[in-house]
Amino acid sequence: MVHGWTNLSSSVDSVFLFIMGISLVLLVGVTGAMVYFAVRYRRSRHPRAENIEGNLPLEIVWTVVPTLLVLAIFWVGWKSFVYMRTVPQDAMLVKVTARMWSWHFTYENGATSEVLKIPVNRPVKLAITSADVLHSLSIPAFRVKEDAVPGRENYLWFQPEVTGSYDLFCTEYCGMGHSAMITKVEVMAEKDFNAWYLEATGKSAPGKAGPDGAKLFAEKGCSACHSIDGSPKVGPTLKGVFGHRMTVLTNGKEREITADEAYLRRSLLDPAADVVKGFPPIMPSQKGVLTDAEIDALVEYLKTLREHEHEREH
């Protein structure tokens, strides 16, 4: 058995070692024979070659033996994979939404987080989807990975066995922020996790004070593309956006507009309708992604950025 962070690590690593073992034997065999022949039969030592056209038994051996070997490799790889795809009934479900370029985890009780917090020694199932383009959720230490595909829900599961903090990467290229689409997995002791879980629920439970725009702005991935300090990123800065006059492209035609509340709302729900001149039309629509309350909160928040209004770069 190999040491691992999850129940899967050890089984994947044993498959790896099995393949590596076979491969090394073959590699050393092939290379060794080649080098030995090249030295032993070099022209100065062996001036006259012997013409051996072939040997049927040998051909059969090196067809059949590798076939059996690869079938064995397939078998162990597949067995281990079946285990990776069979989710235990009692697995805890976490919904994952990937978007350019951030991760969002939603728990069954409605708690949300930007970091994947999970209890140790409990099976966890991640149900993964994407709000815009392809992404892929990868936790190398856990030996798991699955793509986030818009319009589809993929899944994976694992059972962490050691508490600690692990890297979570996006491993499907998704544009400029791909290499920054990194977050952490926190594997917590049962007790710590429960404490966080209950508290997190309390905060975002409906009915309490409405959502906080500034927090949403950071959490929902807006800050991946927009600054609030005036510097342009992938998208225009949102510093002083409210009430600002600017040129947008509507259906390919330029027009001048002033950013009012309706415009801001439209920018969030249907970003392709008016595209700020000089920027690509890549902003993901938040329609169906954010609740109405969250949209309201964000729009309110964007309006407040006006106070700092000075010169805005485009």
Partner 1 sequence: METNFYNTPGKHKGILAWVLSTDHKRIGLLYLSCMTAFFLTGMTLGLLMRLELIAPGRTLMAASTYNALFTLHGVIMIFLFIIPGIPAALGNFMLPLQIGAQDVSFPRLNLMSWWFYIIGAAVAITSLFTGGGAPDTGWTFYVPYSIRTGTNVSLAVFGVFLMGISSTLTGLNFVTTIHRLRAPGMSWFRMPLFVWSIYATGWVQLLATPVIAITLLMLMAERFFGIGFFDPAKGGDPILFEHLFWIYSHPAVYIMILPAMGAVSEIIPVFARRTIFGYKAIAFSSLGIALFGYLVWGHHMFTSGMSDEARMIFSLLTFLVAVPSGIKVFNWVASLYKGSIRLDTPFLYIMAFIFLFSIGGLTGLVQGALATNVHVHGTYFIVAHFHYVMFGGTVFAFIAALHYWFPKMSGRMYHEGRARIAALALFIGFNTLYFPMFVLGWQGMPRRYYDYLPHYQPLHVVSTVGSWILATGILLMLYNLFRSLRTGEKAGDNPWGGTTLEWKTSSPPPVENFEKIPEVTTGPYHYQ
Q: Which residues bind ligand CUA (CB under 6 A)?
A: 98, 101, 135, 170, 172-174, 178, 181
Question: How far is residue 212's CA from residue 237's CA, in Å, rounded to a whole number?
Answer: 20
306 binds, among partner 1, ligand HEA, ligand CUA, none (CB under 5 to 8 A by kind): none
Fill in the amino acid letter for 181. Answer: M
Closest distance to ligand HEA from the beta carbon of 133 (Å): 15
Using alpha carbons, select from 109, 95, 176, 96 the residue that is nearest to residue 137: 96
Asked if residue 151 lies in contact with residue 116, where contact means CB atoms within 8 angstroms, the answer is no
Closest distance to partner 1 from the beta carbon of 33 (Å): 5
Fill in the amino acid letter for 110. Answer: G
124 binds, among partner 1, ligand CUA, ligand HEC, none (CB under 5 to 8 A by kind): none
Structure-token pair, residue 176:
């400029």
138 binds, among partner 1, ligand HEC, ligand CUA, none (CB under 5 to 8 A by kind): partner 1
101 binds, among partner 1, ligand CUA, ligand HEA, none (CB under 5 to 8 A by kind): ligand CUA
Of the pair 127, 214, the CB lying nearest partner 1 is at: 127
Cα pseudo-dihedral 223, 224, 225, 230, rounded to 10: 50
Q: Which stretch binds ligand HEA (CB under 6 A): 66-74, 89-97, 267-275, 281-289?
A: 66-74
Q: Could you list the beta-strand ranges (E) of 171-313.
A: 183-188, 245-250, 253-258, 274-276
Which strands sit side by side in the sheet containing 274-276, from one edge to the other? Answer: 253-258, 245-250, 274-276
302 binds, among ligand HEA, partner 1, ligand HEC, none (CB under 5 to 8 A by kind): ligand HEC
74 binds, among partner 1, ligand HEA, ligand HEC, none (CB under 5 to 8 A by kind): partner 1
Closest distance to ligand HEC from the beta carbon of 299 (Å): 8
Q: Does 60 bind ligand HEA (CB under 6 A)?
A: no
Q: Does 21 bind ligand HEA (CB under 6 A)?
A: no
Q: Using the 8-state DSSP alphabet, how is residue 131 labeled?
A: S
Which strands sit side by side in the sheet containing 116-119, from one edge to the other? Answer: 116-119, 183-188, 164-170, 135-139, 144-148
Asked if residue 18 lies in contact with residue 76, where contact means CB atoms within 8 angstroms, the answer is yes
Q: Which of residues 22-41 bind ligand HEA (CB under 6 A)?
A: 26, 30
Of the pair 77, 175, the CB lying nearest ligand HEC is at: 175
Structure-token pair, residue 113:
């987080």
Chain residues that interact with ligand HEA, rule: CB under 6 A: 26, 30, 66, 69-70
